[in-house]
Structure 1
Amino acid sequence: MVTELQSGKQWYVLHTYSGYENKVKQNLEMRITSMGMEEFIFRVVVPEEEHVETTKTGKKKTVNTKIFPGYVLVEMIMSDEAWFVVRNTPGVTGFLGSHGQGSKPTPLLDEEVHNILRDLGMKTKKRDISFETGEVVKITGGAFNGLEGKVEEIDDEHERLKVSVEMFGRETMADVEYDQVDKY
């Protein structure tokens, strides 16, 4: 169940010293726990991608590189206390979109967050909703947007549904994510 408090969760970008992104993540996660901020600060992400490099000796090795060097993403509810904890974490030089003098930063747009996290293979948000086999739902996103159908299979672990929809006079299975479906 999403609490009223958690409904204000948004993603912000922290500016850090370049090369200290993982240390900032580690420091911030420790501060969240030690200062009891779990209800305000949820996820800390250093966007990285994996690629293969060839060394001078001809050997191939897998290397992680930062997608946004000098930046860390944090999902949080912007309150004075949470802002203070994050802003004063060692290695954090400020929030992107903050004008200084203690002003609160501008959060990332939902679409930006969705694209970044999708590219990293992460979910943008957990949806606190449950479905039952046989239930009629309306598809609100993806290729089957606007259609309604009956839930045939539920995969809670991956937050996916198989929904039977009618297209061109035949039953077709639509594989959709929880956030692409609404209950009737």
Structure 2
Amino acid sequence: MKNIETKEKPKWYAIQTLINYENKVKQKIDMIIQNGTYRNLILRAEVPTQKETVRQNGKIKEVEKKLLPSYVFVKMVMTRDTWYVIRNIKGVVGYVGPDRQPVPLSKADINLHQERNGECSNVLPVGV
């Protein structure tokens, strides 16, 4: 178990995934978190979704729609180990940033996302 103490604060990062791998990647990250393998380093993963009402075959149904297909957001402390662990999950294409190098999302980016998607079920909490 890597229970590493760090002075660095966790930040949100965007990760690009293969098409329709968002939930699989999130589940794998959740497993890593639950196992405590990277306690205090990898804290949370989110796939922003929004509930929509659709009509299929004459029936009204509520479905969750991915707001940013092919992206997962992870709150983590970026270290060499955490970079490697996330990057090597099956279905991960890479981190969002120049030359696929991770760049933390700014509070402005997170706030903009929340404002645009006020009814999202999985938004990125700024202070959490």
TM range (shorter): 0.7 to 0.9
Q: What letter matches 2:72 in structure 1?
A: V
Q: What are structure 2's unaligned runs of at least 5 residues?
A: none
**Radius of gyration: which is bigger?**
1
Counting only pairs closer than 5 Å after superposition, residues 58-137 of structure 1 correspond to structure 2 as 58-100=58-100, 104-117=101-114, 119=118, 120=120, 122=123, 123-126=125-128
Q: What letter matches 1:13 in structure 2?
A: A
Find the residue that maps to 2:99 and give its secondary structure. Answer: coil
Q: CA RMSD in A?
A: 2.1
Alignment CA distance shift 1:34-1:90 (3 Å): farther
In 2, are the aligned partners of 1:31 and 1:85 still within 8 Å (CA)? Answer: no
Counting only pairs closer than 5 Å after superposition, residues 1-184 of structure 1 correspond to structure 2 as 5=6, 7-34=8-35, 36-55=37-56, 57-100=57-100, 104-117=101-114, 119=118, 120=120, 122=123, 123-126=125-128
TM-score, normalization: structure 2?
A: 0.81
Instruction: Give the deviation of 1:31 after TM superposition.
Output: 2.4
Structure having the higher strand fraction is: 1
**Percent of pairs with identical residues:** 33
Find the residue that maps to 1:27 and give its secondary structure. Answer: helix
In 1, are the aligned partners of 2:33 and 2:44 still within 8 Å (CA)? Answer: no
Higher relative contact order (CA 8 A, sep 6+): 2
Structure having the higher helix fraction is: 2
Instruction: Give the deviation of 1:39 after TM superposition.
Output: 0.8
- How many residues are matched? 119
Q: Distance in 1 between matches of 2:62 and 2:72?
A: 22
TM-score, normalization: structure 1?
A: 0.58
In 1, are the aligned partners of 2:45 and 2:75 still within 8 Å (CA)? Answer: yes
For residues 14-64 of structure 1, give each alpha carbon's deviation from its aligned partner in whole angstroms, at most 9, with x where no partner exists.
Answer: 010111100110011112344611211111000111010011x32100011
